[in-house]
Chain A
Amino acid sequence: MNLTATPARRQIHPPQVPASPFPYNPGSLLSASDLTLDEINHLLTRATVLENQDPLTRDRILAKRRVALLFYESSTRTRTSFELAAKALGADTTLVSSLSSSIEKGETLKDTGLTLRALGVEAIILRHNSSGAPWLLEAETRLPVLNAGDGMHEHPTQALLDLRTILAHLRPGVKAVTAETLAGVTVTIVGDILHSRVARSNMLLLPRLGARVLLCGPKELLPELAAQAGPGIEIERNFESALRQSQAVMMLRIQAERLSGLQLDLEEYKANYQLTGQRLASQAPEAIVMHPGPIIRGLEVTAGVADGPQSVILEQVRNGVAIRMAVVERALLAGHKQGGRA
């Protein structure tokens, strides 16, 4: 007997869910889904312009503006590229990390944010181990907040730099993106989807440009309901089959720090999901291979694939600086007639 089925006899009109008040600040970048296609275009365009601009004029754009990097988790790529990006535009940057700050003494995120604002900080780049932390920080400070990765939730600048990388290879020469720019393109994200903020931001961003996102991984790391996160998302558990359909393959690291008691047979994982040279050559000889880093060589990808000709992993890193220049510029100039955007 099915005990859970209660026949609905009445038409019930329940209370509505209120619209989200976020973002409070037009310069914020909290979620990949906050960006309109126009804004995506603007950021991609500015990334290219800023990347090619003379460093001596570029560093006047945000001369002496104050940007804080607030990092509750370790980071190499994201932190360094945000810092280099802000500095390339002339901003003063300051790094506050959870170790070696008053956060260690128990200062809350709210108080840390208000303190930074009182110090004259005009935008905060936040990396946090708790999903949703950037929303809290933005609500409390009303400053532009750039989400540099929150828990298992989102990493929107990573999705933007991944998009830039994908466009460069699969749609070279495209000037402005539309809802159809990536029509016909399948991007497969492989591995630890459950714990991945990179996966979540990419699966929200790429379908907006017409891409099909295939998610591939074992049930423990990829629940069925992941496909409900948005349009254009499908699940393909068979890695070979997913590879055959892909023009881009995004490999993810197993996030040991977030497994939280989950038992995973790594040998079995490698047997099923490791991207090896043999798998790549036989199933997707034309696809680009991406990875947000850090890579654990010999686990999700072999060293040969990471260093191989199809790998664009270091290009992604390089694109990170360009994209983050555009994002930091938008943070501080949003709402002003600057950088080609009203």
Chain B
Amino acid sequence: MTALVIRGGHLIDPAAGVDAVKDILLKDGRVAEIAGPGKLKQANGAEVIDAAGLTVAPGLVDIHVHLREPGQGYKETIATGTASAAAGGFTSVAAMPNTRPVNDSPEITRWMQAPERGASVRVFPIAAATRGSKGEAINDYAALKSAGAVAVTDDGYPILKDSIMRETLAAAARVGLSVIQHAEDTRLTQGASMNAGPTAFKLGLRGMPAEAESGMVERDIRLVTELRDARAHLHVAHTSTAAALAAVRQARRSGLRVTCEVAPHHFLLTEEHVGMYSTNAKMNPPLRSAADRDAMIEAILDGVVDAIATDHAPHAIHEKEVEFESAPNGITGLETALGLSLRWLHKEWKMPLGRVLSLLSAQPAALLNLKGRGTLTVGSFADVVVFDPKTEWTYSARDTKSKSRNTPFDGWTMQGRVRWTISEGRVAYKAETC
């Protein structure tokens, strides 16, 4: 494999505590050398990327994406989803198991990682916690882990039964896997299509109460408490309510292994953005109240949130061009996460760049124990994003690499344009303007 030098960029590697201009040599898919400008010893003959004036950071890590394969290639394929990831600066994506069929087997887990899928960046399958994600019988986690699964979840089909969730947490802990829960007490959300509250009442839509999320998080934390000695790890997916965050905050103070992620749409948008039934503002969990949204921002700035994850959920245009109540849940997010995080968390709310990048790389990688990802030290994977931190640009859903364009952020101003995304030493994305 050829060698690649990234020259003169400002390296920000929060996990390694680096924030300085560096030259980086990538070789055989790994970081081979990092040195001050012009000081690389082994760079002879390597292809050079001139990153002067640009930020160089560990490739971003998204622990919550839906790549739709197997089974729903008309929405997205692993090839198009990872191309979209690369365009957004992501080099690692963890793929949810709600595929057709559900990824509840080592075979499907391996199939998703096979070279034939044509992935541009690394795909880490998250396997179903229970058979067919039906919440009844738990899967063989040891076999799934050895096939490459990095966590288990029944995302979208939350595990309601206490006994099954307890067994899931215990069994996953035994093999060292995290359990990710989409926290929603579905008994409280039947027929609902947005957040419960005055906006839902006005729009004549049935609402999902915040308690459907926070109640499930509280139940799960209770189970983790009971399993304290087993060191069970609960990760709360796409946290959207102040009450759920408060429960996570409290669990952490008690020393429990409870982590959480927040999606950009939940720290930027509210139920008001549903407007007059915009199906691109329909997702689950739904956009919440302004107080909830503000709580997301606070928790991100305070460090309670462990990761920004997109919940990239592509749907074909025709599926979203329907009555609001009939439209499927979900929006795309891989190409807008960095631009929105820099525009709002960094520029508007003054979060240091290193901390923003950490939420998008080092922390999520650590959370799912993705060894050698989320940092750029010698020997780690050559997963790199090179971006222009100051450039403001307008996102156009039309230009997406994804098969779908169901985003509420079409036409939004982004900050920080990705110039190169390098996955294990190969250029996975290169901006056309370079």
Contacts and interface: CB of A to CB of B under 8 A. Distances in A.
Interface of A: 3-6, 8-10, 12-15, 17-18, 20, 22, 30, 108-110, 128, 130-133, 135-136, 140, 150-154, 194, 197, 200, 223, 225-226, 228-229, 260-261
Interface stretch (B40-48, B190-198, B374-382, B422-430): B190-198
Contacts of B202: 200, 229
B277 A132 contact: yes
Interface residues of B, number: 44
A127 B325 CA distance: 15
B329 to A, nearest CB: 16
B246 A6 contact: yes
Nearest to A150: B204
A268 to B, nearest CB: 24
Contacts of A18: 275
Given A15-B344, A152-B204, A260 B191 contact: yes
B269 interface: yes
A93 to B, nearest CB: 24
Contact of B204 (A4, A110, A153, A228): A153
A72 to B, nearest CB: 9
Contacts, number: 108
A228 to B, nearest CB: 4
Given A20-B276, A131-B277, A151-B204, A8 B294 contact: yes
Contact of A10 (B246, B275, B321, B349): B349
A135 B278 CA distance: 9
A14 B204 contact: no
B349 to A, nearest CB: 7
A233 B136 CA distance: 47
Interface stretch (B158-166, B297-305, B392-400): B297-305
Contact of A17 (B203, B246, B270): B270
Given A15-B269, A229-B198, A261-B190, 11 more contacts: A4-B246, A12-B298, A17-B275, A20-B275, A20-B276, A131-B277, A131-B325, A136-B323, A136-B324, A140-B321, A260-B206
Contacts of A20: 275-276
B272 A225 contact: no
Given A131-B324, A133-B323, A14 B277 contact: no
Contacts of A128: 323
Given A151-B204, A229-B198, A6 B299 contact: yes
B247 A3 contact: yes
Given A15-B268, A20-B276, A151-B325, A6 B295 contact: yes
Contact of A109 (B204, B294, B322, B349): B322
A10 B298 contact: yes
A14 B300 CA distance: 14
A258 B355 CA distance: 48
A324 to B, nearest CB: 21
B246 A12 contact: no
Q: Is the interface of A mostly helix, strand, loop or mixed?
A: loop
A9 B302 CA distance: 10
A136 B322 CA distance: 7
Interface string B173-215: 0000000000000000011000001100111111000000000
A108 B272 CA distance: 26
B20 interface: no
Contacts of A200: 202, 204
Contacts of A109: 322-323
B323 A130 contact: yes
B277 A136 contact: yes
Contacts of B270: 14, 17
Interface string B246-261: 1101100000000000
18 contacts: A13-B348, A15-B269, A15-B412, A17-B270, A20-B276, A22-B276, A30-B276, A108-B318, A109-B323, A132-B324, A136-B323, A152-B205, A153-B203, A194-B201, A197-B204, A229-B202, A260-B190, A261-B190
A223 B301 CA distance: 35
Given A136-B277, A200-B204, A14 B298 contact: no
B242 interface: yes
Contact of A131 (B197, B204, B298, B299): B204
A132 B298 contact: no
B396 to A, nearest CB: 16
A225 B201 contact: yes
Contacts of B249: 3
Contacts of B348: 13
B290 interface: yes
Contacts of A12: 294, 297-298, 349
A225 B197 contact: yes
B323 A132 contact: yes
B204 A108 contact: no
Contacts of B246: 3-6
Nearest to A197: B204
A150 B276 CA distance: 13
B146 interface: no
A6 B204 contact: no
B353 interface: no
Given A3-B250, A140-B321, A131 B201 contact: no
B131 interface: no
A320 B294 CA distance: 46
Interface in B297-356: 297-299, 301, 318, 321-326, 344, 348-349
Interface in B234-287: 242-243, 245-247, 249-250, 268-270, 272-273, 275-277
Interface string B141-172: 00000000000000000000000000000000
B7 interface: no
B69 to A, nearest CB: 26
A136 B204 CA distance: 15
B191 A14 contact: no
8 shortest A-B CB distances, which residue pairs?
A153-B204, A132-B277, A152-B204, A3-B246, A131-B204, A130-B323, A228-B198, A17-B272
